[in-house]
Amino acid sequence: MRILAIGDIIGKPGRKALREFLPKLKEEIAYDVVIANVENAAGGFGLTRKVYEELMDMGVDIMTSGNHIWDKKEIYQFIDDTENLLRPANYPEGVPGRGYGVFKKNGIKFAVINLMGRVFMDYNLENPFKVF
């Protein structure tokens, strides 16, 4: 299985680049799964449902995030309804969303775990090395 992992997609310019280059990369490296960090995809901060759906339509299979996922309050309305949108697994208990998922593509099962470091963060996060 070939996995294409993409770092931060930042705002409209990041989405435009993704729209342009993802099909070319598909031809060039024949990836099976796209995993992208989307926490800054809507206006440079956060994620909206509209942008989430746009990224899905472009072919992003699994979306990871970090602290900026919460910057657009709209996220609270749909993060629990999505299985492919992950927030850091080392957030405290009770935080909406999920921190990992088990997925299947082309008959192959695989897991994705979303963890966030604690250095320079103002959040009370669990140690990412002790989560699993």
- Spatial separation of the C-alpha atoms in residues 56 and 61, rounded to whole Å: 7
Please tell me which residue in 68, 69, 87, 112 is annotated as part of the active site.
68
19 is catalytic: no
According to DSSP, the β-strands at 100-105 and 62-64 are unpaired
Active site residues: 68
